[in-house]
Amino acid sequence: MTPAKSHPDVSSRGSDTVLLVNGSLLVRTQVAEYLRSCGFRVLETRNSDEALIVLQRSSETIRVVLSGAEQGFALSRWLRAHSPQMRIVLTGTFERAAQAAAELCESGPMAKRPYDPQILIQDIKASLARAQEE
Amino acid sequence: MVPAEIIQTQPAQPVILFVEDELLVRLSVADFLRDAGLTVIEAGTAHEALRVLKVRSDVALVLTDLRMPGAVDGAGLIRQIRKSHSSVKVVVASAFQSSEPVDATVRKPYSLEHLLEVIKSVLAR
């Protein structure tokens, strides 16, 4: 039974979990889908506060934190103090986030990119452009 | 050169947009639904959900809480869906009753299995 506002266990599945931190919903959703299509389990968070909730409250074994740079600096400090072995990849742009996702996939569960990250970048650009349309 | 349009691979699984402001509930439920074979897009607010619906045409069902922070709450989201995305089904998962017409309601607290049954039932209609 899932209580209305409990903190259910986000159970670990070993080292195939990526904690994704990105304030842009459209970027976050598409990068997360890309990573899932190459076999990763992805925990999506919008900012460092949410990421810290996951890091502090779950028993996750997180392989890597993939974070926008703005949120990532605060997380880096926390990780250095509490989980120095955990890898964090900071991405300043969505292009860099897409490239980082592709690189993660190469060393991920399927050991390959699901498709060219340039396509992911194009998709993100198109989504962002479409979101701006009135 | 890839044209600048949204290239969405046709997912084998139905696409669910899950709107829930409480992070750990959102992560846990989304995880469960993905394990059950659904493609889940997560949104933390009604505003985020509307942003997703604006750019994606493959969302089959919106699963939403009613009480959420922000200028638009769950009821406002449902009204907007009915107005602008009429083919999208709506399931409310809340401790409260929706004032807007929806396809199904799952009252909190709910079991994940029951939630999945309701979603599958609505998708099958």
Q: Residue B96 sits in a domain of what CATH number?
A: 3.40.50.2300
pLDDT for res B71: 87
Chain B CB contacts of A125 under 8 Å are 4
Mention every residue, 6+ apart, whose C-beta is less than 8 A from residue B8: A123, B56, B58
Ramachandran category for residue B113: left, alpha or beta (phi over 0 → left; psi -120 to 50 → alpha): alpha
In a domain, residue B81? The reply is yes
| pLDDT score for A3 | 41
* Full residue range of the structural domain in which residue B95 is found: 15-124
Q: Per the structure block, which two tokens stand in for B24?
A: 């750990």
Structural domains of chain A, with CATH: 17-132 (3.40.50.2300)
- Number of domains making up chain B: 1
Is residue B6 included in any domain, yes or no?
no
Q: Which of B5, B13, B27 to mutate to test the interface with A (most CBs of A within 10 A)?
A: B27
Among partner residues A5, A25, A36, which is closest to B48 by beta-carbon distance? Answer: A25
Q: How confident is the model at residue A71 (pLDDT cuts 50, 70, 90)?
A: confident
Strands (E), chain B: 15-19, 39-43, 59-64, 89-94, 104-107
- Cβ–Cβ under 8 Å, residues B15 and B52: no
Contacts of A4 in chain B (CB under 8 A): 95, 108-109
B4 occurs within a structural domain: no
pLDDT confidence band for B11 (50 / 70 / 90): low
In a domain, B58, yes or no: yes
Q: How many helices (H) and strands (E) does chain B have?
A: 4, 5
Asked whether the beta carbons of A38 and A105 are under 8 A apart, the reply is yes
Confidence of residue A69 (pLDDT cuts 50, 70, 90): confident
Task: Mark yes or no for CB contact B22/A5 under 8 Å.
Answer: yes
Residue B1 placed within a domain:
no
Is B55's CB within 8 Å of A26's CB?
yes
> How much is the pTM?
0.86
Residue A22 has pLDDT above 90, yes or no: yes
Average pLDDT, chain A: 87
